Amino acid sequence: MKVPDSFTPVTGYRTWALGLGWLWSSQSPEKVAWPATEPLRARCLKHGFPSLFNPRMPQHSAPDRDCACGIHAVYAPWDLELIEPRRPWALISGRVEGWGRVVLGERGYRAEVARPLELFFEPWWDEPMWRTASNVARAYGVPIVSWETASPATV
């Protein structure tokens, strides 16, 4: 079955690892930095990053219905799975939009292309976390807003 192209962005929610001034995909086998000035384009990393030492290349474009590849997001913020990363990483959640090839699921979707729309602050943040999150939000051109503004996405 062919995966449809989505011309209208699909809104969703996800969590990133926050470190070194970037947003990073937090749950993939390989940490992937999200570009600050353009959308992230998905690649299948089932066999890791292709390199001189790892020449294996995926046999399909991401996302693929028969693989777990693609940029993951959930439809409702309360469906986010928060897995604490190892130091020096911190977690930050937010709202994203995805488009291109999109595989829809029961609780979320996997997209070919995505970008962050806003980041959510946590009431327990200390001053260093606020400073780090503020710098990242500024670099990505997105606001930091309260979790209370989060509502289920519409597909």
Can you spell out the DSSP letters for 34-89?
PPSSS-EE----TT----SS-----SSPSS-TTSS-SEEEESSGGG----PPPTT-
The residue whose two tokens read 């970008």 is 115
Both structure tokens of 27: 């749950």
In tens, the pLDDT along 41-69 reads 998 876 555 545 545 555 678 898 888 88
Regarding pTM above 0.85, the answer is: no
In tens, the pLDDT along 90-148 reads 889 999 999 999 999 999 999 999 999 999 998 888 899 999 999 999 999 999 998 77
